[in-house]
Structure 1
């Protein structure tokens, strides 16, 4: 998952910590990296990725771009699919994440790059396909980024976008209305302001002129607070207090209700992540 500005000011405080990792303190950077690693191992995120792999359809010999590659886990999986005759370009905005990806390299055919998804330093028609997972929710101009992804993809190549519809996030087992109050305060801190990105992906690909579109909503289900906390920071008591944007007392009230719902077995959280894929038409 790329942390990309696309023109945003890194010091803005209405951005999630994921938006510009290199601007974080060493402690926060480590927390975010650990969170990204844990998310990638979560069964629900792995389920989303299986849908996306099937939709993109990587083939041996292809050259693919992972736009927003984070620590490189998906890029290395894609490299296994394209084989020794193929190649994966793993590009991320964050120099620190790219360094971590290089440290974790497994010898597969992956080339690690730093770059801006809104201004790719790559030639036209240079890749056979693109994977872009949970990136566009963090940029200011998603359509500009999509245009860049289409530019570097050869005609007939596929672009697979994976992103979250934070507006779909719902809880059960807690007092009615409390979740909505909390979400109103943490939006822009725990969730991007572009909270509906996932559901807009198909429309954006239509506007960009892509064809043969597929769109699959994957509803992630979390039956315990511990499971949810891996993906949903607003239920994670380990998130530092200073990151919260809630009025005094609201954080503790909310987390106490989450803990009680978990203890009683009534906790529930659901979140929809969209997988949308399209084909780049002839120039």
Structure 2
């Protein structure tokens, strides 16, 4: 019998998924990148990272490369962006979408980068640390490859902040008790810990900004929140029989009545390597 809390979410091992689940996850990554609330988070992060012309930047956990290509536009022809992702399938999708900008797509482990120390001017790491085994070790590796004076921008989710309104409160609590740790990573509060981690790692001028994402319809929320997405297969749920369908019916009813609401805080934290 499967445990209520999984060691890994589908996003942490895309290459190990079935063909059906791999397609769902890859589509989800693309849809998330296009979502207005995720784009709003990224605008905040770009303002805080402050990429400049001629810089060499690392996108650690680059997904299908949307951010890497935005960063490449900021650093220009004299700069370079290294886009590293653990999944070969995702890296291949990124290569297929390449726009000719100065991005190099690489498959690798962000906790053990095949890069020399002090070799990049800045790092972007978005919604990755919640999936790794040792976040502090990974941050240490990002620091290792960053030159002194370089900036590190970490973006991650605080799943403990997730809240709903418009559906029966008791049912929502029951559902969340089952899906937290199944649809969400074990390190569900990663976002709120980022500031402490960067301060502890010795970075200076650490600034933390919480961005609360608001989803006013089930369709909007389903792009980011798998527990309200009816396309997620029933066998991927950890709920007792019937509870998934009851929950999704309530979600749909709240959407029809206009009362649905979901909120989730994503943290953006930057610091400078001393």
Same fold by TM-score, threshold 0.5 exceeded?
yes
Task: Tell me the equivalent position of 1:104.
Answer: 97
Task: Tell me the equivalent position of 1:186.
Answer: 179
Structure 1 residue 29, shift from structure 2 partner = 0.7
User: Unpaired segments of 5 or more residues in structure 1?
Assistant: 1-11
1:232 matched to 2:225? The reply is yes
1:79 matched to 2:69? The reply is no
The one of 38, 41, 59 equivalent to 1:48 is 41
How many residues are paired up? 270
Structure 1 residue 183, shift from structure 2 partner = 1.4
1:243–1:50: structure 2 CA closer, same or farther, 3 Å change rule?
A: same
Task: Tell me the equivalent position of 2:250.
Answer: 257
TM-score normalised by the chain length of structure 1: 0.94
Contact residue 182 and residue 238 of structure 2 kept, 8 A? yes
Structure 1 residue 186, shift from structure 2 partner = 1.2
CA distance in 2, matches of 1:210, 1:278: 6
1:144 matched to 2:137? The reply is yes
Structure 1 residue 188, shift from structure 2 partner = 2.4
Structure 1 residue 139, shift from structure 2 partner = 0.6
Runs of 4+ aligned structure 1 residues displaced above 4 Å come to: none
1:114 matched to 2:107? The reply is yes
Task: Tell me the equivalent position of 2:168.
Answer: 175
- SS of equivalent to 1:146: helix
1:156 matched to 2:115? The reply is no
1:267 matched to 2:260? The reply is yes
- SS of equivalent to 1:97: helix
- SS of equivalent to 1:177: helix
CA distance in 1, matches of 2:58, 2:106: 10
Task: Tell me the equivalent position of 1:207.
Answer: 200
CA distance in 1, matches of 2:190, 2:213: 16
CA distance in 1, matches of 2:115, 2:148: 16
Task: Tell me the equivalent position of 2:272.
Answer: 279
Structure 1 residue 13, shift from structure 2 partner = 4.7
Tell me whether 98-107 or 80-89 shows the greater mean CA deviation. Answer: 98-107
TM-score normalised by the chain length of structure 2: 0.97
Per-residue CA deviations over 1:145-202 (Å, capped at 9, x if unaligned) read: 0000000000000000000000000000111122221111112221111100000000
- SS of equivalent to 1:154: strand
- SS of equivalent to 2:169: coil
Task: Tell me the equivalent position of 1:37.
Answer: 30
CA distance in 2, matches of 1:199, 1:74: 22
1:26 matched to 2:19? The reply is yes
Task: Tell me the equivalent position of 2:119.
Answer: 126
Contact residue 160 and residue 278 of structure 1 kept, 8 A? yes
CA distance in 2, matches of 1:212, 1:141: 24
CA distance in 2, matches of 1:130, 1:253: 43
CA distance in 1, matches of 2:102, 2:248: 44
CA distance in 2, matches of 1:52, 1:155: 20
Structure 1 residue 119, shift from structure 2 partner = 0.8
